[in-house]
Structure 1
Amino acid sequence: MKKIFTAVFCLAALYVTAQTPNLVQYVHPIIGTDRMGHVFPGATVPFGMVQLSPETDTLSYDLNGKYNPDVYKYCAGYQYTDKTIVGFSHTHFSGTGHSDLGDFLVMPTVGKLQLNPGTTDKPGSGYRSGFSHANEVSEANYYKVKLDASGIIAEMTTSARVGFHQYTFPKTEQAHIILDLMAGIYNYPGKNVWTYVKILNDSTLVGYRQTNGWARTRTLYFAMAFNKHFTAHGFANYTPKEPYKGFWAKFNQTKNFPEIAGKQIKAWFDFNTDEGEKIKIKMAISPVSMDGALNNMQVEVPDWDFEKVKADGQALWEKELHKIEIKASEDDKINFYTSMYHAMINPTIYMDEDGKYKGLDQNVHQADGFTNYTTFSLWDTHRALHPLFNIIEPDRNADMIKSMLAHYEQSPEHMLPVWSNSANENWCMSGYHSVSVIADAVIKGNAPFDANKALDACIATATHRDYQSIGLFMDNGYIPDEKDANSVSSTLEYAYDDWCIAQMAKKLNRTDIYNQFIKYAQNWKNVYDPKSGFMHPKEADGTFRKTKFDPFTTIDMGFIEGNAWNYTLYVPHDPQGLIKAMGGNKRFITYMDSLFSYDLPDKYFAETEDITKDGIIGNYVHGNEPSHHDAYLYDWTDQPWKTQEKIRMILPKMYKSTPDGLGGNDDTGQMSAWYIFSSLGFYPVAPGSDQYAIGSPAVDHATINLEDGKSFTINVKNQSPKNVYIQKITLNGKPLKSYFISHADILNGGELAFVMGSRHK
């Protein structure tokens, strides 16, 4: 009887496995590692603190003072076309347009010890090694590569707070592990404020690194453990020597000394290895303390089972990926699930396993009832990433908002985050788009926090008169051109954010606040010039700038990361008002058609380092987020079929299953979130509304598995690359009367069904 039961159980398990597709196989982290995608190919778990990935260049000064100035290219530390690897570090931004992080670089070597990384043209001059993509594997939570210089096989995986390395060595008495605390993505003189290493025993060490980079006051702690005792260790201190060296001058700190401190430190650890022996390393990090890092290691990865940590991490990815299950071509599955992967890297957990984290006030706090997050690239992610989370990650998104509210409480300015990372506010980009994220959650009913208190934080941020010309916006109804280089784009972004505040106030029955901010929401009209037909810089005397206005250029036109052609459409909260202001339906459609068809002259691509032909179709800039809602604006006209046409044109042009397959920076998941929504057939044009605009689905079928057990399915008949036009659309069997659905339609579960064809209706 027992044997029969066992056999039945095994058959049932096999049946369940067969019914549950492996989605991790479709994740290709190498997509976007070439050109301007700025993503990394290494290992991480969903929203993990550790991103363990190779560096093909760290943009550091070498020991001879030679500097690589190509900062923008290496925002994630890795470029697919490079031929060498300099090491493996533990922290990375995913898809940003700014270079930083790259903490605690580790590199295995054999032979004579070399502490200089060497150069790309002469990798043998240092510890840098050549490699081949033929010997490289990049998966969700797993990276593997052969280092040609030594023959070492490097493998890595992670838990949330621990990077796990596994290096397979040849037989040698000269095996080394180098720990470079000088290295980092975009280093420069003064960035390393202080570093410290302490040897606890002959297999464990702790330390920290303080940097003054994009985050000005950032300290990251580590604990590092080996599975084998090292035979010797040493330090190199490249900190500029002071005239007086003090007490420590009488000690030889370079060989087997227990600790060292300085601005520029490297350490090495020696081993004797047999052929095929695996040296394993666990590197745990903490924003709080070295003890916190040790505890993170003990709790998350107590043993030395590399395959278990890899499997556990991939199981976490499998769970996340199954929140949306699709039927599509194999290539589209790769693009879709890689987009899901990229969308779930940031924001990142920023607290120890015991709930302690460093706050914006640089004090240690205890997270009470929430997980604390960091890396809020809100100018980008408020548009689609956080709305996506409100559908498939509502609990996590709520914790992200609680993290923003904690930031507000700890802020000396009493402002919500703008672009925050590692207990620092970077003040990057314009607007105050945490307001959009909070309002979107409140409007959609995902607010397990004090919504009125959150609204107060939004109001305080939006009325902080001394920040980025907010006072001028409130007093004039626009920001004068003479006062702010981003006068037009900031006016437009503030108007949208203030509309979000108005929607939240309306839901919370705070009529006085609603009346105040709905008025501010109309300030976009004050920078629209009907004579030029564009959003236009406006001077303090109330007249539009008469000279030096070029709607194609990005320089000195009053816009940030965009031109007048694209920003003129940035009124996501009032498309009908915009259409009316621009002369009505016919003229608006002509403008939209021209946006996608006009061939932007080459001279405009040379204006700034981050404007290339990547991500551009005509004059439509998909690689920069202010345009992401543009194609959906046809839904407010009498030609909604053009939205369908444009979406299905953008998808294959901007997203490919190749290393150069991202048409611009992924921007911590925003580009990927656009792909996910658009592939499913709808998009949140104005977060802060419960409305989604219909596009043209690129999948055959999709099931969104909601957290309460319900599911929302998308069924598509006659799907093909040519059948991009909707012939019929129904919601739960009833014809859809408009090209919009609500958030409640999704959360209630049911079916959105499309019938597609090759001609528009």
Structure 2
Amino acid sequence: MSLMASWAQKKTANWIQYVNPLIGTEKMGHTYPGATVPFGAVQLSPDTDTIPYAVNGKYNPDVYKYCAGYQYTDPTIVGFSHTHFSGTGHSDLGDFLIMPTVGNLQLNPGTAAAPETGYRSRFSHQTEVAEPNYYKVKLEDDNILAELTTTTRVGFHQYTFPKTDQAHIILDLMHGIYNYDDKNAWTYLRIENDTLVTGYRQTIGWARTRTVYFAMTFSKPFVSYGNNDFSAKQPYRGFWGRFDQRHNFPEIAGKQLRAYFNFKTEEGEAIKVKFALSPVSTANALENLRREIPNWNFNQVKQQGQDLWNMELGKVDVKLADKGDMINFYTALYHSFLSPTVYMDVNGDYKGLDQNRHQAKGFTNYTTFSLWDTYRALHPLFNIVQPKRNRDMIQSMLAHQEQSAEHMLPIWSHYANENWCMSGYHSVSVIADAAIKGNVGYDLSKALDACVQTARTNYFDALGEYRRLGYVPEDKRRGISVSTTLEFAYDDWCIAQLAKKLKRNDIYDEFIKRSANWRNVYDSSIGYMRPKLSDGSFRKEFDVLSTNNQGFIEGNAWNFSLYVPHDPKGLINAMGGNERFIPHLDSLFTMHLPDQFFEETEDITRDGIIGNYVHGNEPSHHVAYLYNFTNQPWKTQERVRMILKKQYRPAPDGLGGNDDCGQMSAWYIFSSMGFYPVTPGSDQYQLGSPAVSQATIKLENGKTFSIQAINQSEKNVYVEKVLLNGKPLNRTYLTHTDLMNGGSLVFYMSPSPVTLAKVK
């Protein structure tokens, strides 16, 4: 849908009043507060510091705080850059920082302790406003009011200056998030005329070969301009020697460029800047700019974007008694709709993984696939409230696989690059989940072939040993061999489900057998998953609580021993049945972790943990729902409501861990409504305890599914009975068909646990 078409639509309810983009900007939430539209390619947001990735050749732990470029407790703003990840535990981006200043020109950022030594400025949260698609703040050192809004591919700045003959707008091409010494491979700047500038930036950060093009235009001509090339250590030679490279140059290129544009302003005069991005060319960036914002009406663009947000947020209409919970819910829905992000120009062009220009024909191409996180709840949420987008995302994954030299589906990809981050091959989970739930708009047989090819790529992540031995040996994948085995086994089960749907029995037989490989790393003598060596023996040195080189990624044996989402009943039986499994699960929430645990994990804080249950680390996200597979499902209801209250608050530090491109938020959305996809790739959602009083999901097929909690209160966390379309639901799960057919789900809440016998 075009921006102008959405603008012409009837206005919807004001859901954005319940969104606070500042939630998660303090501590480890790693969200950004700036302006963007749903799934927008531009995330225009303030950056509060520039921390080098390494100091004296060693990793700088302080850099971890700035995955999104912004920390709520910082006193200064360095500037406003156009690309950001939301909630990640690693980073990149921070492209094309713009900062307005007045007075003597300074082309270095200065320091937080002495902002006057550079172009950064102090600011106060008292003058800071963060809304969907709108950000405003007063830059106190220079008395400039900064306002930001966006369209899908264009950032729109509005800077209100005091009266001065020394107004400057700085464009910093050196700035970036997670800055490495050599991150900038090359930058280029071309002055087209006295209001238009184009160029590009090539970086070799987390993404090894990333190029972003831009077109920038000003609402009034600049008086003069210049740059400071920090990489120039020798006199210019040859062609470049024909120009004055510092002032009024026609073009310039280098690794470390900062340019400035000078203006004269009257009191209260606003200078506006439109800044468009493209993955392909400056010509496409200019076309994006002219097509998406053909005028200079800042307030109209802001309103159009906010109308888009209201339309998306209104897909789930909820009622909660507490306003803080309403803010939690709609901010979580907002964070769920930030990524993946659009990665193509208005004409359909995008750069592929092969670094060539491609056309997205019949689908919107997306990037930013944090799949180790988002396969669990975010993509299943999309199958309900964003099915068309999820189909396009899968089309994007299949295009990635075609362009990949390894012929693999994405693992963690962005901007025409594969980062190879985290473990497993969870694209197959996203594809199988959509297929099993009937959300198909692509060639299923081709998709299955892509899944199989990915799962047979022997040189990826010890897959050869996994296929040969039935597990990943610790001596081949040191430190995360067990969790990798468990994730492979789950993904293999997903491939088997897709093969079964397509009646590809040979593929089904191969992968359903592989899906049982979790049993090969379960040590029944101690009741935990345990690293195994190539010779078939379990590793002797082993600590079930430690996260340091024990065979698990972002977790320990205690919590990862519960990760068999495709066979929870098999896991329970292997661990000794309900009598042994339930106490083990109980202990996860009640035990006390030693200080060593926190010292080993930089992304974990004590306020993000309940016992040994680490909500900020995604492998635990399904765990509270495992009681549903025992004879004590009421404990799922109790745990879920506790987690909702303890891990989510309407405050800057209100997230108990990285939001991880919306996964933490998607968990909140599902759990608040009373169900959760424990096993993506199946059609089932396990029931929990709804926190909402009412909810209505508006489906793309035109139907609605309503949820109601009778006798809802903070004390009434247990479910006495459930009615689906007026009939008793005598099972602990809901199916996707139940949802898509529309209808109603009614929970009757109680202050005391209800046994299975009573429910039936």
Correspondence for 1:8? none
Following the alignment from structure 1 to structure 2, what is the Cα–Cα distance between the partners of residues 500 and 67? 37
Q: How big is each residue's C-alpha offset from its partner over 1:386-424, in whole Å with a ceiling of 9 and x where there is no partner? A: 000000000000000000000000001000000000000
Q: Is the 8 A contact 1:32 1:661 kept in 2?
A: yes
Q: Which of the residues 501, 517, 520 maps onto 2:514?
A: 520
- Residues 323 and 705 in structure 1, CA contact (< 8 A), matched pair in contact too: yes
2:109 counterpart SS class = coil
Task: Check conservation: 2:603, 2:657, Cα contact below 8 A.
Answer: no
**Structure 2: which amino acid aligns with 1:315?**
D
What is the correspondence of 1:543-622 to structure 2 with a 5 Å cutoff? 543-546=537-540, 548-622=541-615
What is the one-letter code of the residue matched to 1:537?
P
1:66 is displaced (CA, Å) by: 14
- 2:143 matched to 1:151? yes
1:176 maps to 2:168: yes
CA drift at 1:19 = 11
When residues 19 and 341 of structure 1 are mapped into structure 2, their CA distance, relative to the original with a 3 A threshold, is closer
Deviation at 1:451, TM superposition (A): 0.2
Q: Percent identity?
A: 67
Amino acid at match of 2:294: P
475-484 vs 673-682, which deviates more?
A: 475-484
Of 632, 636, 655, the match for 2:629 = 636
Please list every run of at least 4 consecutive aligned residues from structure 1 whose deviation after the TM superposition is greater than 4 angstroms.
Answer: 17-20, 64-69
Q: Check whether the contact 1:59–1:184 (CA below 8 A) recurs between aligned residues.
A: no
Asked if residue 402 in structure 1 is aligned to residue 402 in structure 2, the reply is: no
| Matches of 2:39 and 2:481, distance apart in 1 | 35
Answer yes or no: is 1:363 the counterpart of 2:392.
no
CA offset digits 1:319-370 (Å, max 9, x no partner): 1001100010211110000000000000000000000000000000011100
User: Residues 350-499 of structure 1 correspond to what in structure 2 (within 5 A)?
Assistant: 350-485=343-478, 486-499=480-493
Relative to 1, partners in 2 of residues 1:61 and 1:488: Cα closer, same or farther, differing over 3 Å? closer
**1:610 CA drift (Å):** 2.1
Taking the aligned partners of 1:61 and 1:715, their CA distance within structure 2 comes to: 49
Q: 2:311 aligns with which of 298, 316, 319?
A: 319
Q: Secondary structure at the match of 1:157?
A: strand
For 1:147 and 1:80, locate their aligned partners in 2 and report how far apart those are by CA, in whole Å: 15
Gaps of at least 5 residues in structure 1 are 1-16
* Distance of 1:489 and 1:33 partners within structure 2: 30
Change (3 A) 1:69 1:624: closer
CA contact (8 A) 2:352 2:358 kept: yes
Q: Distance in 2 between matches of 1:96 and 1:581?
A: 35
Whether the 8 Å CA contact 2:604–2:657 is kept in 1: the answer is: no
Contact 1:222 1:290 in 2 (8 A): yes
2:18 alignment partner, one of 3, 18, 26: 26
In structure 2, distance between residues paired with 1:688 and 1:748: 19
The corresponding residue for 1:5 is none
3-state secondary structure, aligned to 1:483: coil
Using the alignment, how far apart are the partners of 2:154 and 2:215 within structure 1? 9
Query: Is the Cα–Cα contact under 8 Å of residues 203 and 229 in structure 1 kept in the other structure?
Result: yes
Aligned residue runs from structure 1 range 261-300, under 5 A: 261-300=253-292
The residue identity in structure 2 corresponding to 1:163 is G
Which whole-Å deviations, capped at 9, do the CAs of 1:690-739 have from their partners, x for residues lacking one?
00000000000000000011000001111111100001111001111111
The correspondence for 1:667, drawn from 651, 660, 665, is: 660
Corresponding residue number in structure 2 for 1:303 = 295
**Is residue 606–residue 612 contact of structure 1 (8 Å, CA) maintained in 2?**
no
Is 446-455 or 240-249 further displaced after alignment?
A: 240-249
2:686 is matched with: 693
**Which residue does the alignment assign to 1:745?**
738
Structure 1, residues 472-494: CA drift from partner, whole Å, max 9, x if none?
11111111121112110010000
Report the Cα distance in structure 2 between the residues aligned to 1:125 and 1:154, rounded to whole angstroms.
20
Secondary structure of 1:679's aligned partner: helix
Deviations 1:440-473 (A, max 9, x none): 0110001111001000000000011111011111
Q: Which moved more, 1:205-214 or 1:252-261?
A: 252-261
What secondary structure does 2:192 align onto?
strand
In the alignment, residue 529 of structure 2 is paired with which amino acid?
Answer: M
CA RMSD in angstroms comes to 1.7
DSSP 3-state at the match of 2:272: strand
Q: Tell me the TM-score normalised to structure 2 length.
A: 0.96
- Contact 2:428–2:491 (8 Å) recurs in 1: yes
Shift of 1:249: 2.8
**Aligned partners of 1:60 and 1:252: how far apart in 2?**
31
1:251 Cα deviation (Å)?
2.8
1:189 counterpart residue number: 181
Deviation at 1:81, TM superposition (A): 0.2
Match of 1:348 among 341, 345, 369: 341
Is the contact made by 1:195 and 1:210 (CA closer than 8 Å) also made in structure 2?
yes
Structure 2: how far apart are the matches of 1:395 and 1:61?
38
Farther off after superposition, 572-581 or 324-333: 324-333
2:99 corresponds to: 107
Distance 1:243 1:567 in 2: 59
Distance 1:263 1:437 in 2: 39
Counterpart of 1:126 in structure 2 is 118
Correspondence for 2:197: 205
In structure 2, C-alpha distance between the alignment counterparts of 1:695 and 1:117, rounded to whole Å: 50
Q: Match of 2:525?
A: 531
- Asked if structure 1 preserves the Cα contact closer than 8 Å seen for 2:215 and 2:285, the reply is yes
The structural deviation recorded for 1:60 is 4.5
**Could you tell me whether the CA contact under 8 Å between 2:167 and 2:264 is conserved in 1?**
yes
Contact residue 167 and residue 265 of structure 2 kept, 8 A = yes
Q: Secondary structure at the match of 2:98?
A: strand
Aligned equivalents of 2:418, 2:475: Cα separation in 1 = 26
- Alignment CA distance shift 1:759-1:628 (3 Å): same
Distance 2:607 2:659 in 1: 12
Contact kept in structure 2, 1:495 and 1:521, CA below 8 Å: yes
In the aligned structure 2, how far is the partner of 1:19 from the partner of 1:358? 36
Asked if the contact 1:60–1:184 (Cα under 8 Å) also holds between the matched residues in 2, the reply is no
Q: State how far apart, in whole Å, the 2-side matches of 1:621 and 1:66 are.
A: 28
- The secondary structure found in structure 1 opposite 2:662 is helix
> What's the offset of the Cα at 1:383?
0.2
Q: Is structure 2 residue 505 aligned with structure 1 residue 511?
A: yes
Amino acid at match of 1:428: C
- 2:12/2:310 contact within 8 Å kept: no
1:574 Cα shift? 0.3
TM superposition score normalised by structure 1: 0.96
SS in 1 for 2:358: strand
SS at match of 1:216: coil
Matched positions, count: 744
Structure 1 counterpart of 2:279, one-letter code: P
- 2:239 match: 247
**Aligned residue number for residue 13 of structure 1:** none
Q: Match of 2:149, as an amino acid?
A: T
Aligned partner of residue 475 in structure 2, secondary structure = helix
- The structure-2 alpha-carbon separation of the partners of 1:320 and 1:244, relative to structure 1 and needing over 3 Å to count, comes to closer
Match of 2:218 in 1: 226
Query: Deviations 1:47-94 (Å, cap 9, x if unpaired)?
Result: 0000000000122599x9999762101000000000000000000000
SS of equivalent residue, structure 1 residue 156 = strand
Q: Which residue does 2:5 correspond to in 1?
A: none
Q: State the secondary structure of the residue aligned to 1:596.
A: helix
**CA–CA distance in structure 2, aligned partners of residues 526 and 120 of structure 1:** 53
Matched, 1:55 2:47: yes
Matched with 2:3 is: none
Matched, 1:681 2:674: yes
